[in-house]
Amino acid sequence: MKKINPKKTDFIRKVKEISGQNIGLCYQCGTCSGACPNFAESDILPRQLMRRAQLGMEQDVLQSKLPWVCASCLSCTALCPRGIDIAKVMEAVRLLSLRENIDYVNPRELSEETIAKLPQIALISSFRKHTA
């Protein structure tokens, strides 16, 4: 019998703990992939991220573009037939990087034009989602 890899189960436990979601429920129907408006900007689809998370493939999940092009629109969550709040899983994956102090955007690098153009809710929500 193959031994259980404790590193993999630890990653799965963390994702479940932060998201509050049972990722094991996913049966790979792909509804989330069809619903995601930003899949074209990602390297893998939401369904594929869910499978990799179920299998504890930490590096594949953490290095995927998907959680970073996610706009938290909740289209996946609204349609999941298994009742998984997939947007919360994406947030958990983002937080596993952010809590290691790995930021996705650097507020200091934003152009003056961007800051002048965008409303506060755009800047603050981006910093909330993309910085530690």
Partner 1 sequence: MKLSYLPGCTLKTKAQDLDLSTVAAMEALDVELEELPRWNCCGTVFSFADDDLMHQIAPVRNLIRAQEQGGDKLVTVCSFCFNTLKRASLLVKENSDKLDTLNTFMDEEEDYTGNINVVHLLEVLRDEVGWDQIEGKVQNPLKDLKVAAYYGCTLHRPKEAAIEPPNKLEALNDLITALGATPVDFPDMTTCCGSYQAVANPEIVINRTREILSSAKESGAEMIAVSCPLCECNLRENQKELGELRMPIIYFTQLLALALGVDPHLHQCEKNPADARSFLESKGLLAACTAAE
Q: Give the residues lining the site for partner 1 (CB under 8 A).
A: 17-20, 37-38, 40-41, 68-69, 71-75, 77-78, 85, 87-88, 91-92, 95, 104-105, 110, 114, 117-126, 128-130
Residue 15 to residue 4: CA distance in whole angstroms:
18
Closest CB to partner 1 among residues 4, 83: 83
Rg (CA), the chain: 16
Closest CB to partner 1 among residues 33, 77: 77
Closest CB to partner 1 among residues 54, 72: 72
Other beta carbons within 10 angstroms of residue 16's beta carbon come to: 16
Residue (of 36, 33, 13, 31) closest to 23 by Cα position: 13
Closest CB to partner 1 among residues 17, 43: 17
Residue 1 beta carbon to partner 1: minimum distance, rounded to whole angstroms: 33
Cβ atoms of 47 and 28 closer than 8 Å: yes
Residue 67 beta carbon to partner 1: minimum distance, rounded to whole angstroms: 11
Residue 119 beta carbon to partner 1: minimum distance, rounded to whole angstroms: 4
> Is the alpha carbon torsion for 21, 27, 29, 30 positive or negative?
positive
Residue 109 beta carbon to partner 1: minimum distance, rounded to whole angstroms: 11
Residue 132 to residue 97: CA distance in whole angstroms:
8
